[in-house]
Structure 1
Amino acid sequence: MNDYYDNETFKKVAFTNDQISRSDFDFCIFENCDFSDMHIVNSEFLECEFIDCNLSNTRLKESSFKEVHFYSSKLLGIKFYEIDPFLLKINFTDCQVDYSSFYQLKMQNFQFVNCSVKEVDFTEANLQFSYFDDCDLLGSIFEASDLRNVNFKTARNFSIDLESNRVEKAIFSKDNVANLLEKYKIKIVS
């Protein structure tokens, strides 16, 4: 592919080419599409929706995602840090984002709603004002991350070291605040 698509809907398309390159998708909807193991290079997605799609192990090299929303999609093992960070804005609802990496990515105001976010690398990511609503963060790495004003109120299974991350004004519930003390191996009883 090497084209421009505007306001189009792609349903049940198995993108079997090895690569999507230099293509622009504006206001497009992808439903039940399979992008797994694809290479998406130098392409732009502007205000697109991905619904019930599989993007597992997709390479997103130097592509941009501006106001993109993923619904009920599988995004396993994606190196999000390889995308173009300019005007980056992605939201995830009911998705699996496990084993992916957002290393050093500026991703302010992102929303993860009812997602599996297991074993994800957020090292040195700027997540300010993001929201993890009812998300499982088991094994995810927060190291030198900017978590100021991040809402973890309904998140679970996270481990955040207060000494190695910026957490000013982050929001936690009394039920999950013990995750902040995990490194000290203490017991909290009621």
Structure 2
Amino acid sequence: MSAPRLQTEAAFEDETFADLNLQEADLRGKEFFRCTFRNCTFQESHWGRARLEECVFTGCDLTRSRFTDTSLRGVRFESSKLMGIDWTDVGTFPELTFEGSNLRYCTFAGLSLRKTVFLRCTALEMNFIDTDLSEADFSESDITGSNFRGCTLTKTDFGSAQGVFIDPTRNRAKATRIPVEAAVNYVQTLGLVVAGHGDARTAPKTERKKSR
């Protein structure tokens, strides 16, 4: 698939786009069904009011792209750069999967991302504000510095994620799975010391009395 066709035609089905350089491309209003994008550069591209269904992006660079009112259904990003994207104005109920991708500095505000998968992602300093992340999966992702505020975290899985810090007073957490280190870090912010975790004091040893 050539770049001119992608920019001039309005709808595509079962197409593969590979090795295209379309930085700042205007793809607004286009429709993509079961399409594959491989090793394409879409930095700062515009996808406003576009429609993507069952599409896969592999090894693509979509840094600072815009997805205003974009319909995303069954869209998968693999080993792609998605840095600095504000997903806040994306179409309602997006269905997304992120695997091995760079999501640094992304913002997800006011969205329903139930059951969304963030697998093995570099996801530093993201913002989740008033986001429904029920049953979302952050397995093996690094979310160091990410902010969760006003989020629904029912059965959200952070169990094998790195850099997890969840404040249950600022989010709705229920059956939320977190690493032991994250629980300890939160308790320590409350001024408590967890024995065996950063406690320099050694508990006194008690000697067993010898029986006569």
Distance 1:135 1:36 in 2: 23
- Choose which of 5, 13, 16 in structure 2 pairs with 1:9: 16
Structure 2 stretches of 5 or more lacking a match?
1-6, 197-212
**How far 1:175 moved relative to its partner?**
4.0
Q: Establish whether residue 58 from structure 1 lines up as the match of residue 80 from structure 2.
A: no
Q: Which residue of 2 aligns with 1:24?
A: 31
Instruction: Name the SS of the counterpart of 1:142 in structure 2.
Output: strand
Which has the greater radius of gyration? 2
1:39-54 matches, cutoff 5 A = 39-54=46-61
Tell me which residue corresponds to 2:203.
Answer: none
- Name whichever of 175-184 and 105-114 sits farther off: 175-184
Is residue 2:121 matched to residue 1:123? no
Q: Which amino acid aligns with 1:148?
A: T
Equivalent residue, structure 2, for 1:36: 43
Structure 2 residue identity aligned to 1:43: A
Q: TM-score, normalised by structure 2?
A: 0.84
State the TM-score, normalized to the length of structure 1.
0.94
Deviations 1:52-83 (A, max 9, x none): 00000101111111001100000000011111
Q: Which residue of 1 aligns with 2:187?
A: 181
Distance 1:183 1:175, change over 3 A: closer
Q: CA deviation at 1:182?
A: 5.3
Instruction: Give the superposed CA RMSD.
Output: 1.5
Following TM superposition, the consecutive aligned residue runs of length 4 or more in structure 1 with deviations greater than 6 angstroms are none
Residues 100-115 of structure 1 aligned to structure 2 (within 5 Å): 100-115=106-121
Pick aligned residue for 2:86 from 60, 66, 79:
79
**Cα pair 2:53 2:74 within 8 Å, conserved:** yes
> Residues 150 and 179 from structure 1, CA distance in 2 versus in 1: closer, same or farther, beyond 3 angstroms?
farther
Relative contact order (alpha carbons < 8 A, sep ≥ 6): 1 or 2 greater? Answer: 1
- Structure 1 residues 39, 183: closer, same or farther in 2, change over 3 A? farther
> Take 2:103 and 2:188, find their aligned partners in 1: how far apart are those partners?
24
For the 8 Å contact 2:158–2:164, the answer to whether it is kept is no
Q: Distance in 2 between matches of 1:126 and 1:112?
A: 14
Q: Tell me the matched-pair count.
A: 189
Q: Is the 8 A contact 1:76 1:100 kept in 2?
A: yes
Please give the alpha-carbon distance, in whole angstroms, between the structure 2 residues aligned to 1:47 and 1:182: 44
Q: 2:99 aligns with which of 89, 93, 96?
A: 93
